[in-house]
Amino acid sequence: MSAGLCPCIAASRTKVESASSSLGLIGNPQTLVNSVWPKTLVIKKHGGYQVKIHKPRITIGPTVLKVGMKVAVKKTRGVGQFSWTVKRTFDFDIPPEILQLTQAVGNVDGQLTSLANALTQVATLFNCPG
């Protein structure tokens, strides 16, 4: 009987862990940024100019979303070589609805984690591999 249940338990646990991981992206915007913007974007132009756009840094406080940006311009050839960098942090007030969504996501994520742990215990009871 356990041989038939083990693949179902494993598939269920995989789905639950995947859903939890997806929810984690909503609760942690920096993780989302890291997944779509893995490294500094470098744009090289003719005439020896180079522009670097660094990955944004995002943090969520109790009521504020902070977005930190850094851009650098460098002239590497010719007369008047220079390097210029600007850093700015933008603060955005978080509407109460977003705060409620974030709390709800945290609650659902906690429940998914509990479910994944329960599935692991069931798999152990049935001596399922892995």
pLDDT digits (tens, 9 = 90+) for 25-66: 777 788 878 888 878 888 887 778 889 999 999 988 878 889
Between 28-32, 103-107, 115-119, the lowest mean confidence (pLDDT) is in: 28-32
Answering whether pTM is above 0.75, one says: no
Q: Angle at Cα 15 formed by Cα 12 and Cα 19, nearest 5°?
A: 140
Decide if 29 contacts 56 (C-beta within 8 A): no
pLDDT band per the 50, 70, 90 thresholds, residue 99: confident
Q: What is the pLDDT of residue 93?
A: 93
Strands (E), the chain: 41-45, 49-53, 57-60, 64-75, 82-93
**Residue 1 predicted with pLDDT over 60:** no
Higher pLDDT, 60 or 122: 122
